[in-house]
Amino acid sequence: MRLLMIGRLNGELVTASKIAMQRGAAVTQADGVPQGLTVLRARGADLIMIDVGLDIRALVGALEAERIRTPVIACGVAADARAAVAAIQAGAKEYIPLPPDPELIAAVLEAVTADSRAFVWRDPAMERVVRLADQVARSEASVLITGESGTGKEVLARHVHQKSHRAQKPFVSVNCAAIPEALLESELFGHEKGAFTGAVARRIGRFEEANGGTLLLDEISEMDVRLQSKLLRALQERVIDRVGGTAPVKVDIRVLATSNRNLAEEVRKGTFREDLFYRLNVVHLRLPALRERPADILELAAHFAKKYAAVNGLPPRPLSGEARTLVTRNPWRGNVRELENTLHRAVLLASGAEIGPEAILTPEGDTIGPADGPATRAAQAAQAAEAATRGLVGRTVAEVERDLILDTLDHCLGNRTHAAKILGISIRTLRNKLNEYVEAGLEVAEPGGVRALAAYG
């Protein structure tokens, strides 16, 4: 945990800094906003605590302009309510009153360092993935984590980091899909002053920020092929080139990558470099979809119900039996993320001692379940089609054709012309088939729907 304190360290700020260090934070201090920005550009930070008397709006504006995504917390004397409100309006996430409360400081640090998406599992399918992750965590090998959106790929990546030799060093995540292509190179490798419009000072990139620790390249399949080439060099040689720089910079990092696509298929399509794919895919961890690990559903549902009851100041309530059945039968196309949102909503909507099925709703207010939604209906139709196909196994083509013709004729109440059109054959062909069936002793529907044994010419 890297904490940047902006403000002169005297009095209460000194105490706050000492409390943070006792809680395991590495604290860096800067007297003012300009000095603080210099530290951020050179070293990075996980959290900024700034004296409420400084220009918080200028700090937040500079962070936005330079795309530095570090949360800002203001701190000041408890009696200055007006300054606290102004700090929040200027862009601070929270306000901490001084003199500092050790438990409050600890809670803030824990909120920043803890992943809000807890790593919860019980299903054997997930157990196998976690066991492999634990086995390779202490190595230096690159790891590729794949799975559908919402399955928890970043959560697993953080787990690998926490189990590694680098656990006490930074864990830095970059969402390659969320950053425009033109800016991603600077975000990853940093830039020198004047390298492009808006580069007001030298800034280190995420590679240097993660030095000694772990860098997660989230949704790496979205990265442009040109930039993939530069990334490959960084992985192979452990050196990077800042945008506009003239000298390579050495880095010591472990790289993890995630993708919700099949990278082998992307290689075949030419949208992902084959050499980079093999460099990243030393170990492959595939996260199964939530519907493939049913034992996790109730475990996660109970976890989220407890979590969001605490967040919203509500009493914890278990899921009723009907709600549990509803939750386990839902296909969860959005995986853990969808389940989490649904349980958060259920906690707010529920009444009584339990969370009932009436609170398990979609964002539009509809009841979830296997009978609602086009995706579920399509799945049911596919299952029915599969069952029908299996029913044909072991039968000859002639037998299947005969039953199809006779059933169609029944459906048309014996009308040959109509049945021939549905079957896509001529009336002559149909009559010939019907004659064969009559000769074999089978009943054939007469016009009007009556089956009869008769010869047709």
**pLDDT tens per residue, range 169-205:** 889 999 998 888 888 999 999 999 888 877 888 889 9
- Residue 17 burial by Cβ neighbours in a 10 Å radius (0-12, 13-18, 19+): buried
Closest of 170, 160, 165, 158 to residue 204, by C-alpha = 170
Closest of 210, 232, 212, 208 to residue 220, by C-alpha = 232
**pLDDT tens per residue, range 385-418:** 555 555 566 678 888 889 889 888 887 778 888 8
Residue 452 has pLDDT above 60, yes or no: no
Helix axes of 294-311 and 321-329: crossing angle, nearest 10 degrees: 120
**pLDDT tens per residue, range 412-444:** 778 888 888 888 898 889 989 999 988 888 888
How is residue 137 written in tokens? 């965590």
**Contacts of 307 by beta carbon, 8 Å cutoff, 6+ apart:** 118
Rounded to 5 degrees, φ, ψ at 61 are -65, -40
Residue 373 has pLDDT above 70, yes or no: no
C-alpha distances out from residue 56 to 8, 42, 199, 400, 416, Å = 15, 20, 21, 78, 84
Q: Who wins on pLDDT, 296 or 457?
A: 296
**pLDDT tens per residue, range 239-281:** 999 999 888 999 999 999 999 999 999 999 999 999 999 999 9
What residue ranges define each of the domains in the chain, with the CATH number in brackets? Answer: 2-113 (3.40.50.2300), 124-286 (3.40.50.300), 291-359 (1.10.8.60), 397-452 (1.10.10)
Q: What is the mean pLDDT of residues 1-19?
A: 82
Q: Which has the minimum average pLDDT: 18-27, 178-187, 332-341, 398-407?
A: 18-27
CB atoms within 10 A of CB 40: 24
Residue 12 has pLDDT above 80, yes or no: no
Q: How far apart are CA 278 and CA 120, in angstroms?
A: 30
Q: Which has the minimum average pLDDT: 323-332, 346-355, 362-371?
A: 362-371
pLDDT band at 232 (very low <50, low <70, confident <90, very high): very high
- 3-state SS track over 344-380: HHHHHHCCCCCECHHHCECCCCCECCCCCCHHHHHHH
Claim: this prediction has a pTM higher than 0.85: no
